[in-house]
Amino acid sequence: MKRYQTKDKSLYVLLIKNYVVFTLVMAILMLILYFAEGWAERRILQPPRRNGALGGQNLLLSGEFEKLSMEKLLGTSGYFEILDKEQQLIYSDAEEQRTYTPKEISYIPAYGTPLTYEATEYSTKDNEKQILITCKRHEWDTGYEDNVSYMILNEKYQVISTTADTNVRQFSKMELDYLTGKDRTGYEICKYEYTGNDGEKYTLLMHIKGMDRQRYRQLLSLWRIFIPLYIAVYVIITIGFTVYIHRKVKEPLDLLNEGILNFAEGERETELSYRGPKEFETIFSSFNKMARQLRESEEAKERLIMEKQRMMADISHDLKTPITVIAGYAKAVFDGLGDPETQKQYLGTIIQKADNLTRQINTFYDYSKLEHPEFALVKKKQDFAEFLRTYLAGRYDEIELAEFRLEVEIPEEQILHSFDEVQFGRVLDNILANALKHNPKGTTIYITLQQTERTIQIEVGDNGVGIPEEIKEQLFDPFTVGDDSRHNRQGSGLGLAVAAKIVELHGGALFLEKAGNGYISTLFVIRLMKEK
C-alpha cells in the first residue's frame, strides 16, 4: 500500500496560503522598487509641492524675502516675486524684472485653488479660429474633476459665448495665458495673497518650471531601468511560486500515476493511502473505489463464465433428456416392441416430449431475440385497461379448467399508454404460467390494475405455496428454476427473465413484492412510467 501525507487538509487552503505568501512577497518587493523609483524621479525632477503647505511663512510675513528658500514649493528651477498692495514689484529672485497690471494679476490663479482653466484651439466649419476655455473644479483628495463653466473666444480673444458668471468680453494674449496658469516664459504661475506683519497686503507670485527635454530624457533612462526590473521581479517570483505549487501538486499525482501503472500491470490489490488536501483525498478514494469495482467486476466476470458453462450444461441436459426419451420410444415402436396399446402410449410420449422440446427451443429463441440490439417493440397507444380485460377473457377458460380461481380488479376509466400488445401479452403469459405450474388446484390468482399521476401498475399475485427463499434474489436471472422444476424438467427458467426484459424495454420494471398482505403469498408487480 502506497502512502503519502501532508499537513494541509484542503487544496483550497494550500493554494490560498501559498498565494497569500506569493502576494505579500510580490507586494513588498514591488513597493521597494516603487519607492526606489520615486526617490530617483524626485532626484531628477525635484518637483514643486503643488498642494503642500506654503514654506517660509514667518520670513514671508516679516518681509525677510532674501532669506526665503522656495525650492520645496517651486522646484529647483522655479522663482518667485513679491508685489505690494499697489501691484508693484518689490522683490524678485529672478534676474529679469517684470511688471504686471492689476487686471493681469486678477487672472492669475490663486495658490491651492480647486479651479483651473484650460484653453483648446479649434476651427469652425467656416474655417474660423476659436478658443474654448473650460473651467474645471479639481478635488485634490479624491482626484475628482468636474466641468464648471465654458467660454468661447474668437481669434481676437473676444468672448462670443459663455456660461460663466462674468462681465469680461475681451482678453489680451497675456491675460489669457495668466488665466490658464502660464506666464510669458512658459512657466506655470500662481499667486498667494497675504497680509504682512506690518499690516500691509502683499502678493506672492510663484513661477514653476514644467518638464524640459533634459529631464524627460533622464526620466526615460530611469524608466528603461525600472520597467525591466519590475518585469524581472514579477517573472522570478511567479516562476518560483509556480515551481513550488507544481511540486506540491505533482507529488500526490506521481503516487496516483504509479498506482494506475501498477494496476494496469496486473496488481489488482493496489490500494493507495493518502492524507492531504481533501480534493486529492477524494481522487485517491475514487481510485480505490474504481480498483475495488474492477476487482469485483473481474470476479463477477469469472462467475458469469462459470454460470455460462453451467447454463450450457443445463441447456444441453434440458435438450438431451427429451431427445433421448424420443429416440428410445421411437426405436421401441420401430422394433415393434409391445402391443398396439403400448405402442400408442409410446407415440403419445414422443409427441409430448417433442412439444416440450419445441417450447423450450422457442423460449431460448425469444430470449436471444430480446437481447439482440436490433430488436424493436411495435408500440401502439391504446387503452391498457381494455387490453387487460380482453387478455384475461381469453385466458379464463384455461384458468378455470386448471381448477384455479381468478379475482380481477380493473378500473372502468381509460388508461392510455403506448405498448407492444403482443410482447406484453407474453409478459402476462409467463407470469400466469409460473403461477399455474407451481401452485396446487384451488389457488386464487389476483390481478389488479391501478394508476397514479406518474405510473401505471399491474399486480399479479396468488395465495399458493410461494417462492422458495433461495431463488428469490435470482428469480429474474436466466435459467433460474426451483428444485422441483429442475427435477421434473418442467421449465427452462427463462420465462420470468423474458418477461422482465420486455417490461424493461417498455421503460418499466418487473419485480417481486417482498412484503405480503396476509393472504397473498406471491405478488409480481409491473410498474410503467406514464408518458409526458
CA distance 326 to 204: 135
**pLDDT tens track for 264-300:** 777 767 677 777 777 777 777 787 888 888 888 887 7
Q: Is beta strand 129-138 parallel, antiparallel or unpaired with respect to 405-409? A: unpaired
pLDDT value of position 291: 80
Residues 6 or more apart in contact with residue 342 via CB below 8 angstroms: none
Distances in Å between the Cα of 85 and the Cα atoms of 17, 89, 207 are 67, 10, 20
Q: What is the pTM of this model?
A: 0.41
**Helices marked H in 376-441:** 384-401, 421-438
Q: Which residues, including other chains, have CB under 8 Å from residue 186's CB and lie 6 or more apart?
A: 210
> CA 112, CA 431: separation in Å to the nearest integer?
101
Q: 463-485: per-residue pLDDT in tens?
A: 988 888 878 777 777 655 554 44
* DSSP 8-state symbol, 443: P
pLDDT at 211: 59
Domains and CATH numbers, the chain: 79-208 (no CATH), 278-368 (1.10.287.130), 376-529 (3.30.565.10)
Cα 114 versus chain centre, distance: 51
pLDDT of residue 210: 66
Cα dist from 509 to 348, 368, 374, 501, 529, whole Å: 41, 19, 21, 9, 9
* Block mean pLDDT (10 aa), the chain, length 532: 50 72 83 79 53 62 82 72 90 84 90 87 90 85 77 91 88 89 82 90 85 64 80 85 78 78 74 72 79 80 74 68 80 81 83 76 70 78 93 88 91 92 88 88 93 91 86 72 46 73 89 73 91 76
